[in-house]
């Protein structure tokens, strides 16, 4: 997604993460080099609110200590358009204030608060030292939030998504490591026309290619001399194209499992591949 903030042209890559525990390995691949995160809970489901501490812990742990200071985290209380609300604005906002985290109330259905929330987050990512117009707690400290999260016990709600963001200015001063498969906004939005069944031709092709591949290298689209970084790069790109939380092609779950198996096998066998490559050069 390209936008203009403070008279600067900015490119934002957004990754809509699946909260299910089975996708932890996929999420973990994307934490590094992300500069912002949105934690979304459902105001009509109290367990999703209670799981926020553990999500903070996972995010800050995933980005690493060196990046945690620069990581911008926002909390969105979603589905405020619904009448059956379990988490009040006061409770959620006070919870976030104690952890120095910005809080927004949003409705994905009506669009309420979404633009304001994203703009504030993006401005904080591009200009971390910018002062927010209401309260100083918008300049949060993720180490403090993570420390508080460590004190809380519970389990992650499988329906609670994380959205990770990385940004770059067009002058090249900051470059994102990851790109979003398909359309520029998120992995859910593919640039190609969708079938009536709810998936694109690109998603169908990706699933079929992975399922029909004869070797792990072919499945990931890498050569036999691919390094660990090459394997992980290919894995990240394909993981969001085929994992069943985002891809509704029949067989996407099987394709995702095959992809994980192929990636693990190639990483474990990397020393042998590198040794063979070295032998060939000598």
- Are the CB atoms for 172 and 160 separated by under 8 Å? no
What pLDDT score was predicted for residue 211? 94
* 41-58: average pLDDT: 93
**18 compared with 198, residue with greater pLDDT:** 198
* 83-93: average pLDDT: 95
What pLDDT score was predicted for residue 22? 64
Burial string for 131-161 (b: 16+ CB within 10 Å, else e) reads: eeeeeebbebebeebbebbeeeeeebbeebb
What pLDDT score was predicted for residue 177? 35
The tens digit of pLDDT for each residue in 193-224 reads: 454 567 888 889 999 999 999 999 999 999 98
pLDDT band at 267 (very low <50, low <70, confident <90, very high): confident
Pairing relationship of beta strands 36-42 and 72-78 according to DSSP bridges: parallel
**88 compared with 5, residue with greater pLDDT:** 88
What pLDDT score was predicted for residue 66? 66
Lowest mean pLDDT among 29-38, 133-142, 261-270: 133-142
If you average pLDDT over each of 143-147, 232-236, 259-263, which comes out highest? 259-263
pTM: 0.56
Q: What angle do CA 58, 64, 66 make, to 5 degrees?
A: 145
Lowest mean pLDDT among 38-42, 189-193, 230-234: 189-193
Residue 169: Cβ within 10 Å count: 14
Residue 262 has pLDDT above 50, yes or no: yes
Q: What is the Cα–Cα distance from 41 to 68, expressed in whole angstroms?
A: 22
Tokens of 55: 């999500």
pLDDT band at 43 (very low <50, low <70, confident <90, very high): very high
**186 compared with 96, residue with greater pLDDT:** 96
Tokens of 224: 């036999």
Domains and CATH numbers, the chain: 2-144 (3.40.50.300), 201-269 (1.10.287.110)
What pLDDT score was predicted for residue 167? 52
What pLDDT score was predicted for residue 96? 93
What percent of the chain stands above pLDDT 70? Answer: 66
What pLDDT score was predicted for residue 270? 60
Residue 84 has pLDDT above 90, yes or no: yes
Residue 232 has pLDDT above 70, yes or no: yes
What pLDDT score was predicted for residue 218? 93
The tens digit of pLDDT for each residue in 97-146 reads: 999 899 999 999 999 988 888 888 888 877 654 444 333 333 434 444 44
Average per-residue pLDDT for the chain? 73
* 213-240: average pLDDT: 89
The tens digit of pLDDT for each residue in 246-255 reads: 788 999 889 9
């Amino acid at each position: 997604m390209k936008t203009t903030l403070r008279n600067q042209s900015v490119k934002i890559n957004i990754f809509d993460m699946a909260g299910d525990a089975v996708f932890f390995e996929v999420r973990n691949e994307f934490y590094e080099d992300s500069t912002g995160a949105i934690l979304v809970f459902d105001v009509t489901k109290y367990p999703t609110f209670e799981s926020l501490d553990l999500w903070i812990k996972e995010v800050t742990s995933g980005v690493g200590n060196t990046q945690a200071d620069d990581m911008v985290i926002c909390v969105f209380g979603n589905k405020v358009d619904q009448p059956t609300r379990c988490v009040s604005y006061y409770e959620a906002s006070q919870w976030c204030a104690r952890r120095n985290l910005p809080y927004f109330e949003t409705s994905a259905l009506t669009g309420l608060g979404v633009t304001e929330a994203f703009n504030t987050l993006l401005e904080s990512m591009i200009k971390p030292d910018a002062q927010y117009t209401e309260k100083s707690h918008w300049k949060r400290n993720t180490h403090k939030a993570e420390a508080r999260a460590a004190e809380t016990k519970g389990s992650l709600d499988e329906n609670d998504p994380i959205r990770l963001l990385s940004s770059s200015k067009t002058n090249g001063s900051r470059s994102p490591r990851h790109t979003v498969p398909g359309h520029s906004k998120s992995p859910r939005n593919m640039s190609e026309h969708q079938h009536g069944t709810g998936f694109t031709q690109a998603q169908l092709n990706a699933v079929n290619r992975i399922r029909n591949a004869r070797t792990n290298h072919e499945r990931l689209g890498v050569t036999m001399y691919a390094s660990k970084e090459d394997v992980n790069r290919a894995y990240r790109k394909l993981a969001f194209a085929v994992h069943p939380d985002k891809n509704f092609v029949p067989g996407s779950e099987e394709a995702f499992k095959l992809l994980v198996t192929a990636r693990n096998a190639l990483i474990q066998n990397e020393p042998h591949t590198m040794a063979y490559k070295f032998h060939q050069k000598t």
